[in-house]
Amino acid sequence: MARLLLIDTADQLPGLLPIHSWSALMSSDLVLVRSEDHPFVPHLDLAELRREVVGSRAQPAQWIVERVRSEGDVAYLFGPQDGEDFTRTLGLEAARSGVEVEVVYFMLAPKGVELLDLVRITERLRGPGGCPWDQEQTHETLAPHALEEVYELAEAIASGEVDALREELGDVLLQVLFHSQVAEDGGSFTIDDVAKAVAAKLVRRHPHVFGDVEVTGTAEVLANWEVLKAAEKPEREGIFDGVPVAQPALALVAKLQSRAERAGRAPPGDAEARVRAELDRLAHAGEAGEHTAAIGDLLAAVVTLARTHGVDPEHALRAAAQRFRSQHETQ
């Protein structure tokens, strides 16, 4: 009895098939695809499988069924051009003609395939016939948007709302993809270069996971990370090289303090005593300039105090700002 094998593909990965789908193709007398542009055509040719292209026939479903009736076991490999309407029409035509139909499902798609859709969308927005605004953007014009999205992500994390967190993570991810597309358009690098580089860095800096290094806890992990990081960036001359000065002031001070402490330049002392000393200094400050310096040093001392308690000063102050806002909005 003639049999039509409908081979399912992942929409985002039409050029990839699991082993059970490959087995179905290999056992078929003929493989049909909608067009010569199907991503799997090169694989079929390498496997030396008989194949034909449906093309732009007036009644493609009827033609496919006729090929099944004359050939025997025929596989139809779905692709990007095939939709639900065509699938339904093909199934009804096969049933009317008495052709047995077997669907070979793709089953579980690899994790992350939805990212491919987002890559294609950003490429389309920047490409011919895309969005004029998106096409005009540069790394420089996009930079403020990236900062804004990161701040919104921080706010979503603080809120504890899962839906908000998911949405803001998506907006941050879009910034990464958009900057990568701008770079690709300029011939610099692609999103694959970005992903490859960060993946390689994660593997290098986790030898206790991907290698044979043994650690006893987080402290050793962090110590190894810094050693590996320093080896990767030997061109850095100062202990503060690589610290972005454009970040919020509290976060900047915390990072500078951390770097100095790791380099042995700022041995930890009594953080509370330092805060009291800076308060006393402020109380006895004379001129306006002295007040400014005293308040700055007081804030830096508070950052040190927060860090000794394992508190991120930036997050702590943001939480305080939110509490202040909530209290006064209800009054």
Superfamily designation of domain 114-232 = MazG-like (1.10.287.1080)
State the CB neighbour count (10 A cutoff) for residue 7: 25
What fold characterizes domain 249-329? Helix Hairpins (1.10.287)
Q: Is 14 helix (H, G, I), strand (E, B) or coil?
A: coil
Q: Where in the sequence of the chain do the CATH 1.10.287.1080 domains occur?
A: 114-232, 249-329
Output the pLDDT for position 235.
63
E-only strand ranges, the chain: 3-7, 30-33, 51-53, 73-77, 100-104
3-104 is a CATH 3.40.1010.10 domain: yes
* Backbone phi and psi for residue 20, each to the nearest 5 degrees, phi listed first: -70, -30
* pLDDT one digit per residue (tens) for the chain, 331 residues: 689 999 988 877 877 888 999 999 999 999 999 999 888 899 999 999 999 999 988 899 999 999 999 999 999 998 877 888 888 899 899 989 989 999 998 888 788 888 988 999 999 999 999 999 999 999 999 999 998 999 899 889 888 899 999 999 999 999 999 999 999 999 999 999 999 999 999 999 999 999 999 989 998 998 888 788 778 776 666 778 878 887 888 888 988 998 888 777 876 678 899 899 989 888 888 776 788 888 999 999 999 999 989 998 988 888 888 888 888 886 6
Q: Burial-class residue 76 by CB neighbours within 10 Å (0-12, 13-18, 19+).
A: buried
Output the pLDDT for position 91.
87
Output the pLDDT for position 2.
80
Do residues 107 and 18 lie in contact, with contact meaning Cβ atoms separated by under 8 Å? yes
Q: Which of 1, 7, 22 is nearest to 68 (CA)?
A: 1
Output the pLDDT for position 288.
66
145-154: Cβ within 8 A, 24+ apart: 145/175, 146/172, 146/175, 146/179, 149/174, 149/175, 154/315, 154/318
The Cα–Cα gap between 149 and 169 comes to: 9
Amino acid at 12: Q
Output the pLDDT for position 79.
82
| Residues near 196 by beta carbon (within 8 Å), at least 6 away in sequence | none
Q: Where in the sequence of the chain do the CATH 3.40.1010.10 domains occur?
A: 3-104
Output the pLDDT for position 44.
92
State the CB neighbour count (10 A cutoff) for residue 235: 6
